[in-house]
Chain A
């Protein structure tokens, strides 16, 4: 087997050194009845070429986003990733290293994390960011748990504009952690009165920006209302590129900003692995979940980096830790920070502007069809349409015409009559004029 360097003579020599006659003598602590005498009923070893052939054939059974006019968003976005990003994250020293617990031999990962944390803090308008969570949805649930620690209150209010799967994750995890959640009804037009749901038991209010349907709302007044009740405002960003163009949540009074970093560097990957971003105010840093990288000096007084404030973490605090997270999204952080460093501020702003312009053009072209209304008055690169019949059917018929035309809201929120005909459409810099024309043409045929 090509991955196993020991030869049969090696194994014999080693068994002799250990003082046993066969490797099974090393498994004698396993109860006899549980020792497998024969092979498990699975295929035997295959060469590289055979595996490659089988998996290539399997992959070909999916329609890749790049092979079609593509407008699906809903928490994952198709952006171009510079070639150097994928090259750099495959450097052996990044790809095949462990968590940087031994800082003298991990300065590469640690410095990249320090840069990453700074970029996340800058972009979200917050003081500090951690070294990542699994993804946006779990970061959201962790933020709610953190708000509970900070405020010592048991309740949370979730906006109806929060991604339905984020809502489901937060409700599930909060339920098991003994936390009480109030959910506002779905709000496709971005208008809701969350203030009315806040009381003196509310630890936090969670809103998405831009929201699941695409709307962008000034959060300043909500932040004031939340703070007046002694609660925290948690802002969720699933399209991080938006923050290149619109105001940072931190500038509008957010106490915790969590995000899905997938748009930069990571790619679609059928939903994972993605990258959870987590930023907050300096005063709450000791209540944060996850790893933090900090600057210090070495024995010779030179600047260096270490994992720090680990007394919050599970390997030190065990059941009293702020979270059980250990492995996070390390390599995705690296991809994110490289992509953002390549873009720089000017590139990110331009990229965000391109996405927005593309979406505005698309919304105009689609709303010109008289059976389609745009529901979201403001948006960044994603907006919601009300169609004349169920959106799920339309999506399927568009796919039949070779166009991946968006996300039908009922796929994630089934059984709600008023949402039945809603379609969420996303545009990015990767959409060409031809893609837009193809969607408009196909839509004309199916609506």
Chain B
């Protein structure tokens, strides 16, 4: 046992142990007071439940304490710098949270009569306008729920466009540095995936790309800036080569934070790009979601966008096109209702707050901060690619060679220093990757403290006995390293009454 003094309760000061709701609850308890039922007739066709479900209930004080205690076991952006590469963990303004709770946005049903939801439709229209302007694109499909859903939407749009031209194309080109969602989305759209290798400078090999392009290629999926944190310098030649082959250029917009207000993807020859509102436009990550992934589309693809659309009426006001009309090319529907309204409100509040000038400053500060980290760490860590990076900087594990300390150990040691680790082992194109994205939300003071910590850890990793020390990290967290192999080999995916009593007996 590590962590110093052992306590009777298992708690350690502010670190509170917390049982599962199933272990805390007592039968019949509810934290919600409801009026009495009248015992009137029922129309359930004899399908009433006859057996108990087993659901636990807690009173309000118990429930509040349970979830507050759980929350205290999480790291968050509000706690500290969260340098997860390609995740854009920026500040989440609380004005956004206030605006999304306005009854005219939050307490509106998606199937209310259109004349009663004009404000909500206007909000979607405003969000779409900003996204189109910022990207220099013709249209935007607002319904995708997240980045991967946006990728699928973009590829389906591309497939629909090829089909309309009478083309049957078989595969999508994806660089080896791409996010896993790219090939997975291509597969979900019945495309084969062909991988394009990166060059030594971390960018797509234009020669290899040209060699791979033929009349069976439907699209290239390219992340730009790519996941090595580098801008694809040859992007205009890449776009031209793709278009010359009759294919489309899909851009993964996960890293749009580096470009917003400075570069418009429409000027780079992009045909479709999803925008993660939960990255660039500050909607909260929420411990894994929800997100939102609107897809901006070029002129060539605009008419294939899926339902629904918000349209302006000639006499003023907004209308909603929800069902397929004769003669339109809309590819179908990707989700019920009209998209992630709650994320649109937050993104609009964020975009309006920054304005065109502030958003440009976002990209500049994000890129400057990443380069500052690169410049101040390059003598003690190994930067994977020379030259300036964009909004994230990629290190590999060469600086740990011979130390016995792995990238994972280094990341876990960073946890003990009070930081969430950077993205590790991604992208796959370098060994033991550590991808650091500070975002524009950090003060110089905060960046300096992080840099000093990283420098100290890099030095410590080369000291004698470092391997054992780093392998034992983290020590100061609610739980130390967890046995992931056991979790996968003997999956326990839910609480069971018997397993709990068996454990208590241990």
Contact = CB atoms under 8 A, between A and B. Distances in A.
A51 interface: yes
Contact of A135 (B40, B57, B145): B145
Nearest to B267: A34
A257 interface: no
A260 B335 CA distance: 12
Interface in B72-123: 72-79, 82, 84, 87, 89, 91-93, 95, 97-99, 101-113, 115-120, 122-123
B102 to A, nearest CB: 4
Nearest to B416: A104
Interface string A314-335: 1111111101111111111010
Contacts of A136: 336
B365 A341 contact: no
B361 A354 contact: no
B1 interface: yes
Interface stretch (B207-215, B462-470, B482-490): B482-490
Contact of B479 (A104, A178, A344): A104
Contacts of A144: none
Residue among A51, A87, A320 facing the most chain B CB atoms (10 A cut-off): A51
Given A42-B134, A97-B74, A342 B30 contact: yes
B235 interface: yes
A318 B356 contact: no
Interface stretch (B242-250, B281-289, B295-303, B396-404): B281-289
A128 to B, nearest CB: 5
Interface string A383-427: 100000000000110010000100100011010000000000000
A82 B32 contact: yes
A343 B126 CA distance: 38
Contacts of B87: 98
Nearest to B115: A399
Given A10-B443, A23-B364, A360-B43, A272 B486 contact: no
Given A4-B361, A324-B184, A343-B32, A108 B74 contact: yes
Interface string B350-368: 0111111111111011011
B71 interface: yes
A35 interface: yes
Given A14-B368, A36-B264, A84-B64, 13 more contacts: A14-B369, A51-B349, A54-B352, A64-B108, A93-B73, A107-B70, A163-B336, A175-B332, A177-B190, A216-B47, A272-B339, A308-B493, A404-B112
A270 B110 contact: yes
Contact of B70 (A111, A119, A218, A296): A111
Contact of B112 (A63, A357, A429): A63
Interface in A130-180: 131-132, 134-138, 145, 163, 165-166, 168-169, 171-173, 175-178
Contact of A346 (B28, B89, B440): B28
Contacts of B361: 1, 4
A172 B113 contact: no
B230 interface: yes
A295 interface: yes
A176 B482 contact: no
Interface stretch (A192-200, A223-231, A285-293, A436-444): A285-293
B430 interface: no
A43 interface: yes
Given A176-B190, A345-B54, A328 B76 contact: no
Interface in A225-253: 244-248
A325 B29 contact: no
15 contacts: A40-B133, A51-B353, A96-B78, A102-B411, A108-B71, A118-B22, A123-B55, A138-B145, A270-B338, A272-B337, A273-B145, A311-B488, A328-B146, A330-B286, A378-B44
Interface in B4-54: 18, 20-22, 25, 27-32, 34-35, 37-38, 40-50, 52-54
Contacts, number: 717
B146 A134 contact: yes
Contact of A58 (B28, B91, B119, B426): B119
Q: Is the interface of B mostly helix, strand, loop or mixed?
A: loop
A324 to B, nearest CB: 4
Residue among B32, B46, B122, B263 facing the most chain A CB atoms (10 A cut-off): B32
Interface in B120-177: 120, 122-123, 126, 130, 133-134, 145-149, 151-152, 156, 159
Contact of B78 (A44, A93, A328): A93
Contacts of A178: 190
B60 A84 contact: yes
Nearest to A132: B289
Residue among A45, A64, A82, A87 facing the most chain B CB atoms (10 A cut-off): A64
A197 to B, nearest CB: 22
A132 B290 CA distance: 10
Interface in B471-505: 472, 474, 477-484, 486-488, 491-495, 503
A434 interface: no
A291 B288 contact: yes
A270 B493 contact: no
A359 B348 CA distance: 38
Nearest to B191: A319
A328 to B, nearest CB: 4
A378 B43 contact: yes
A138 B335 contact: yes
B341 interface: yes
Contacts of A271: 110, 336-339, 341
Contacts of A78: 107, 109
